[in-house]
Structure 1
Amino acid sequence: MQSSRRRPTLATVAASAGVSVATVSKVLNGRSDVAPDTRRRVQSLLVEHGYAGRPAHRSPAMVELQVSGDLCAYSTEIIKGTLEAGAEAGVPVVITNVKGEPPSGDAWAHGLTAGGWQAMILLTDEANRRQLASLTRAGLPVVVVNPINPPPAPVTSIGATNFAGGITATDHLLALGHRRIACLGGPADAASSQARVHGYRAAMENAGVPVLPGYVRSAGFCYPDGLREGARLLDVEPRPTAVFAASDEIALALIQVARERGLRVPDDLSVVGFDDTEIATMTSPPLTTVRQPLREMGIVALRTALRLAAGETVESRHIELATELVVRSSSLAV
């Protein structure tokens, strides 16, 4: 006698799990934006119900770009580059914005490979080591873009020449005749910020110009950090006539602090940033800054991820792209 039991559907599984059909679909497709407990519950019910989805007609490669935290001008430029390279290669790129603890675990990582993902690109301040370990064990190639600190082997990372950028910014201010030059750095424990500050110190030392007490401060890379530490920096006596800031955001915050104190930029205080995001051209005056090739980083990350997915060996585990100075109106000769 033929069984009258109907073939289970996504809706059946979703109802049993207490989630939406879209969530079940995400689990089936290996999407990372599903909570680990929910993913395990759905995967268990898929097996229990004997669900067999339609055969997937997948592209030769699918890549996920996982962005941690709030989107900003900095991350948007990298996203644009990744999408541009994906379109050129004919590869779908799925962007996932993760807030809080990123997904990890072997079940999650194997779900990605089962869902057809060929590589993962992470745009994050600090790559989660548990997540990286899970992806490595699943055999899924990973590329981390501009990490604060280098990820462990065998993960590949894309960055910029931070040390050279720090030298270039400081040399520019020295060439304008400034001698009381301060540095507003990023997080003290971030390798990228340390390299920028070391570049500043190297340029000052090469020029025989002393770094005065209190002239180097660690902040963060975001606007509120620049407001707080910028105010403290401008309290130092003698007050600096120029500042190299480790990001565009803290440079703009410093300009705001200077204005609140009646200082004119660049007449009373020259400011140089780092990144060259869109906001550098929107401020008044437009910001002199070290251009970090953000869009190109996204392009190189996607191309590198595809090479790794194809089983190729990349020449270097860490790839650095060159920075360059973009002179605008926030810096002036003394």
Structure 2
Amino acid sequence: MSRPKSARVTVRDIAAEAGVSIATVSRVLNGGAAVSPATRLTVRQAMERLGAAVPVPVARPAGARTGAVFVRCPYLLTDYFGTLVSAVAEALDRHGRRLILNAGDAAKEARVLAGLPERRDIDGALLVLPVEEAAELAELRSRDFPFVVVDPRTPLPRDIAGVSAAHFAGARSVAAHLAELGHRRIGLINGPADWLASSSRFGGHASALAEAGVLVAPELVVNVEPTAEEGYRAAGRLLDLADRPTALAAFNDKTAAGALRAAHERGLRIPGDLSVAGFDDLYLSRTSVPMLTTVRQPLAELGGLAVSLLLRLLDGHTVEALHVELATELIVRGSTGPVPQHR
């Protein structure tokens, strides 16, 4: 039985009525070519039965799939994000693609994803650590709009393309390095608790310590926004414990820099009294005193891979590996050393 014409008909309703996928309905609604005439007719008949208006597809401009790429990075373009977006811009330029940038802290409040499929000047998008929930990303995917997520904040559905660094392996290499130096009481200044990178890095940290016969002490784990100021505060809390840690593993180089400041204020020598490690291998890691042991993320390669993956989707290629992780590398410098003898 068809529903009253006054009821709101969703893409999911049409898919169920026609016996096809949500993506197929989306292709019909958007005038996609990859739908057989018979399937297109089936979807349109289902829409008529449900009382849904059958839209006239919006045609892409001449030279389709050669338009701009929308790059959304709702953060200040400094350090990590600046390096990543620069790599994306260079890769797009090499392929003759224009870039439309939506960036900065103010962009966090902008709800722009829903309108992307209707924009005639944009063919696809790269979303860097998106603040949008998984449901919004899934809705965008259901409309057959090509996009790639770079460093996803939350786990991605299988059919959404994403690229990231190997967070688990990177954090495991830091903790294993510190354990080899004799450290057993290691503080973890981790990122926001709801970030996928944070949970992955906690898993890598815990795995390395378990191999060394140590369980992670809850009081030694702090989740913070990854800034130098928050790293300073978190390190202060950990270093003021009655049984303070002998080493700190920070979420990024900025939080590690904050930890170095907190240690200095307490008269602790690095690495004689306390070892500190960061993550990212930003320029900051080579300007601190001593220079930071850190994990190198291949940011240039990450941006280039995201662009390559998006271009393959735009060209209509079938991409089997939609979730890709790039290897990280432990860079040992002067901020880590053997556990203090008196401990």
- Whether the 8 Å CA contact 1:127–1:151 is kept in 2: the answer is no
**Distance between the aligned counterparts of 2:215 and 2:128, measured in 1?**
37
1:169 aligns with 2:174: yes
Equivalent residue, structure 2, for 1:109: 116
**Distance between the aligned counterparts of 2:225 and 2:95, measured in 1?**
36
The code of the aligned residue for 1:121 comes to: L
Worse-matched range after superposition: 127-136 or 228-237: 127-136
The code of the aligned residue for 1:291 comes to: R
Equivalent residue, structure 1, for 2:86: 80
- Whether the 8 Å CA contact 1:248–1:276 is kept in 2: the answer is yes
**Distance between the aligned counterparts of 1:238 and 1:214, measured in 2?**
10
1:237 alignment partner, one of 242, 245, 249? 242
- Whether the 8 Å CA contact 1:109–1:134 is kept in 2: the answer is no
2:308 alignment partner, one of 297, 303, 307? 303
2:195 alignment partner, one of 180, 190, 194? 190
1:321 aligns with 2:333: no
**Distance between the aligned counterparts of 1:291 and 1:94, measured in 2?**
28
CA RMSD of superposed structures (Å): 2.3
2:70 alignment partner, one of 52, 55, 64? 64
Equivalent residue, structure 1, for 2:11: none
Quote the sequence identity (%). 38
Q: Evaluate the alpha carbon distance shift between residue 125 and residue 267 of structure 1 in structure 2; reply closer, same or farther with a 3 A threshold.
A: farther
1:124 alignment partner, one of 107, 125, 129? 129
**Distance between the aligned counterparts of 2:79 and 2:319, measured in 1?**
29
**Distance between the aligned counterparts of 1:179 and 1:103, measured in 2?**
45
**Distance between the aligned counterparts of 1:138 and 1:125, measured in 2?**
18
Matches within 5 A, 1:14-53: none
Equivalent residue, structure 2, for 1:142: 147
Deviation digits for residues 211-232 of structure 1 (CA, Å, limit 9, x no counterpart): 4452222223222321222211
The code of the aligned residue for 2:128 comes to: L
Q: Secondary structure at the match of 1:158?
A: strand
The code of the aligned residue for 2:110 comes to: P
- Whether the 8 Å CA contact 1:65–1:96 is kept in 2: the answer is yes
Equivalent residue, structure 2, for 1:154: 159
Tell me how far 1:177 sits from its aligned partner. 2.3
Gaps of 5+ in 1: 1-54
- Whether the 8 Å CA contact 1:166–1:200 is kept in 2: the answer is yes
Q: Evaluate the alpha carbon distance shift between residue 188 and residue 103 of structure 1 in structure 2; reply closer, same or farther with a 3 A threshold.
A: closer
Q: Evaluate the alpha carbon distance shift between residue 329 and residue 297 of structure 1 in structure 2; reply closer, same or farther with a 3 A threshold.
A: same
**Distance between the aligned counterparts of 1:318 and 1:213, measured in 2?**
31
Equivalent residue, structure 1, for 2:211: 206
Tell me how far 1:258 sits from its aligned partner. 0.9
Worse-matched range after superposition: 86-95 or 229-238: 86-95
Matches within 5 A, 1:94-105: 94-98=100-104, 99=106, 100-104=108-112
**Distance between the aligned counterparts of 1:103 and 1:219, measured in 2?**
25
**Distance between the aligned counterparts of 1:175 and 1:256, measured in 2?**
25
Q: Secondary structure at the match of 1:265?
A: coil
Tell me how far 1:130 sits from its aligned partner. 6.4
Matches within 5 A, 1:251-330: 251-330=256-335
Tell me how far 1:195 sits from its aligned partner. 1.3
Tell me how far 1:189 sits from its aligned partner. 2.3
- Whether the 8 Å CA contact 2:172–2:205 is kept in 1: the answer is yes
**Distance between the aligned counterparts of 2:116 and 2:97, measured in 1?**
20
The code of the aligned residue for 2:79 comes to: A
- Whether the 8 Å CA contact 1:223–1:249 is kept in 2: the answer is yes
Gaps of 5+ in 2: 1-60
Q: Secondary structure at the match of 2:76?
A: coil
- Whether the 8 Å CA contact 1:104–1:130 is kept in 2: the answer is no
TM-score normalised by L of structure 2: 0.74
